Amino acid sequence: METAATLNNSAVALTEANKPFEAIPLFREALNLEPENPLLWLNLGIAQQKTGEYSEAIESFMHSITIDSNLSDAWNSMGLIYYELNEFAIAENCYHAALICSNDDPKIWNNLGVLYFNTNNFEDARNCFEKTISIFPQFKDALINLRDTCRELGDFRAAAEFERVISNLDITNRT
């Protein structure tokens, strides 16, 4: 008999191999064995998100945080869904909830910055991207986002400096 852990591991591997439709039944089988396991609900939600089943994914994420409200990945994933649905206020709330759980996660800070950038809130976007690179200085997407934000703010000197950092990062990664 398979355990919830082995089913989860197989399903995660399928999700990561871009086979979420095959993963979902395994997550459901694992949840039959351990219905109060918040990570199983989180992983199910991630697979559902990849299939575009957003309402089901949100339901799974909500179930996971009902069990463990400190799952920043669930809050962040919900933020991404609401962002894609142009529900920016809800997405922002989800990102802030994720940061309460994990204030040093650069992905969350970057996602919040992208939301602010795309809603023309460039000062807050800059603050988020600066926080991101203070945590993870070589986060290329955040550096690019920060460069672009500085351009929007008219801070061309800072934008040029971030362009230099990005170029150096590219050179370092090629060697």
pLDDT tier, 94 (very low <50, low <70, confident <90, very high otherwise): very high
53-93 confidence digits (pLDDT tens) = 999 999 999 999 999 999 999 999 999 999 999 999 999 99
Looking at the structure, tell me whether residues 79 and 158 fall in a common domain: no
Q: Tally the domains of the chain.
A: 2
| Res. 19: pLDDT tops 80 | yes
CATH code of the domain in which 73 resides: 1.25.40.10
pLDDT at position 33: 97
Residues 109, 73, single domain; the answer is no
Residues 87 and 128 in one domain: no
> Which of 53, 83, 102 is the endpoint of a domain?
102
Asked if residue 120 and residue 41 are part of one domain, the reply reads no
Residue 174's pLDDT is what?
60
* 75 token code pair: 């809050």
Tell me: do 28 and 72 sit in the same domain: yes
Over residues 5-27, the mean pLDDT reads 97
CA dihedral of 156, 157, 159, 160, whole degrees rounded to 10: 110
**What is the per-residue pLDDT for 56?**
98
- 84, 116: one domain: no
109 and 48, same structural domain? Answer: no
Residues 5 and 30 grouped into a single domain:
yes
| Per-residue pLDDT band at 172 (split at 50, 70, 90) | low
Instruction: Report pLDDT digits (tens) over 36-64.
Output: 999 999 999 999 999 999 999 999 999 99
List Cα–Cα distances, 145 to 36, 90, 112, 124, 133, in angstroms: 38, 22, 11, 12, 11
Domain span including residue 172: 104-175
Pair 74, 18 in one domain: yes
| Same domain membership, residue 93 and residue 46 | yes
Minimal CA–CA distance to 73: which of 31, 40, 117, 26? 40
Q: Are residues 49 and 108 in the same domain?
A: no
pLDDT the model gives residue 40: 98
Domain boundary among 102, 122, 157: 102
Whether 175 has a pLDDT exceeding 70, the answer reads no
Helix (H/G/I), strand (E/B), else coil: 139: coil
Q: How far apart are CA 108 and CA 122, in angstroms?
A: 17
- Provide the whole-model pTM: 0.92
pLDDT of residue 171: 76
Boundary of a domain, candidates 75, 102, 129:
102
Tens of pLDDT, residue by residue over 116-159, are 999 999 999 999 999 999 999 999 999 999 999 999 999 999 99
The reported pLDDT for the residue numbered 173 is: 63
Q: Are residues 131 and 118 in the same domain?
A: yes
What is the pLDDT, as a whole number, of residue 71?
Answer: 96
